[in-house]
Every structure is written in C-alpha cells, then in structure tokens.
Amino acid sequence: MFDGKFRTNIERGLKPVGANLRKVGITADWLTAMGVLMAGAAAVAIANGALDLGLLLLVLTALPDALDGAVAKASGTAGPRGAYFDSVMDRASDALLLGGVAWYLLDTDPGSKIALLPMAVLGASFLVSYQRAKADSLGLDARGGLMERAERTIVLAFGLLFDSLLVPVLWVMLVLTLFTAGQRFVKVWRQASAERPKPEPFLDRTRRRNRRTARPIAQTWRARARERAENRRQASS
C-alpha cells in the first residue's frame, strides 16, 4: 500500500541524498549488504530479549533499504543485477527478523507452539513476494495490496515497542498478509484471464478446415474441366 502510493514521492525526496552518497563512494550494493547485517543484528537482539535495541536496529535497517535504490539511480548502476540482489537480501532480512522473533517467543515460553506464528507470517510474506516475482516474469502486474513489506515492518515495530502486544500483532500480520496474497492472486488472475485468447467454437474450426481442404479440390476439378473443354474444342476443329 505504502509502496504503491508513496514510492514516487519518497524516491524524489531521496534523489539528492543518493547523489551525495555516490560522491563519497558509497555504492548501492554496500547499502543493501549493510541493511542485511543490521537486520541480523536486530534479530540477535530480539532473540535475546532486548526488544528495545531490536526495535532501534529495525528502524535503522529501513534507511539503507530506502537509500540503495537512490544511490543506484544516481550512479547509473540500476539494473537487473542490483534489483535481483536487493530482492534476495530483502527476503533474507525478513527471515532473520522473524526468526529472531520466533526464537524470543520460544525462549520466553518453552514448548509453546506460539513460536510457529512468526514462521507462518514469514511463509505468507514469501507467498506475497513470489506472486509479484512470478507475475513480473509473465509480463503482468501484481504490485499493491494491504500488507506489503513496508507495512509489515511498521506493524512489527509496533509489536516490539509494546511487547505485551507482540503476539496479537503477529496474528494481525498473518491475517493481513494472507489477505494481501489473496488480493494479488485475484488481480493477476483477472489480468491473465483478460489476455487469454477465447477458444474457437468447434463448428467454426471444422468449417474453416473443410473450406481449406475443399479449396484445392475445387481448383483441381475446374482445371480438369477446362482441360476437357479444350480437348473437345481441338477435336471438333
């Protein structure tokens, strides 16, 4: 939702920042790697119960994630390789963060199955990301939805800020992420259905095939009729 509505304005505002970072030698790949390392540090802090530190690191993780695209465009290095690297690292960051939350829940309540909840959120988020990747490969558009990556980060930050609400927040994330997956599925399904050619009625196919086969036969009979007429004309003369 945020990605679709505010991305253009955010990218416009970050453009001069990206240009300044490029001048001091910072690359887009370096920022992407830093984002993953900070997500890993946040996961370790969360897993060890330092939720305040984990929240701080989670917020800081969003900075390189937002700036790497601006630096890539400012340096003229934006392309498929950078987009692929950024997308893979985003998935790695999600896995680290939600893995840290799962470890924390397992540590605070050993033996409880509630630790599986962050893994369910992770699986749903991967489904949402896969839908966009597959749609892009087919030339379709799966962008948008109620709970994209930016929204998931904000909601998770809220859960870390009020640790007593962490489990309810995770349930909200799971439900809304699955809802987003449904939104994207319907969107792509409609696009794919609109572009699919309509099946040709059987009778039309049969008639056209009969016309194609009948045409050479008719031409042959006409040629033979002309030949017989010519022979009769020559015989009478």
Enumerate the domain spans of the chain. 2-195, 202-237
pLDDT average, residue stretch 154-166: 93
Q: pLDDT tens, 42-85?
A: 999 999 999 999 999 999 998 888 888 778 877 777 788 888 99
Q: Does domain 2-195 have CATH number 1.20.120.1760?
A: yes
pLDDT average, residue stretch 228-234: 62
pLDDT over threshold 80, residue 164: yes
pLDDT of residue 107: 92
pLDDT of residue 234: 57
Q: pLDDT tens, 166-206?
A: 999 999 999 999 999 999 999 999 999 987 666 656 555 66
- Model confidence at 161, pLDDT cuts 50, 70, 90, reads very high
- Model confidence at 135, pLDDT cuts 50, 70, 90, reads very high
Averaged pLDDT score across all residues of the chain = 84
SS3 labels along the chain = CHHHHHHHHHHHHHHHHHHHHHHCCCCHHHHHHHHHHHHHHHHHHHHCCCHHHHHHHHHHHHHHHHHHHHHHHHHCCCCHHHHHHHHHHHHHHHHHHHHHHHHHHHHHCCCCHHHHHHHHHHHHHHHHHHHHHHHHHCCCCCCCCCCCHHHHHHHHHHHHHCHHHHHHHHHHHHHHHHHHHHHHHHHHHHHHHHHCCCCCCHHHHHHHHHHHHHHHHHHHHHHHHHHHHHHHHHHHC
pLDDT of residue 157: 95
pLDDT of residue 134: 94
Residue 95 vs residue 70, higher pLDDT: 95
Q: pLDDT tens, 195-223?
A: 766 665 655 566 666 566 555 666 666 66
* Assessment of whether the complete model's pTM goes beyond 0.85: no
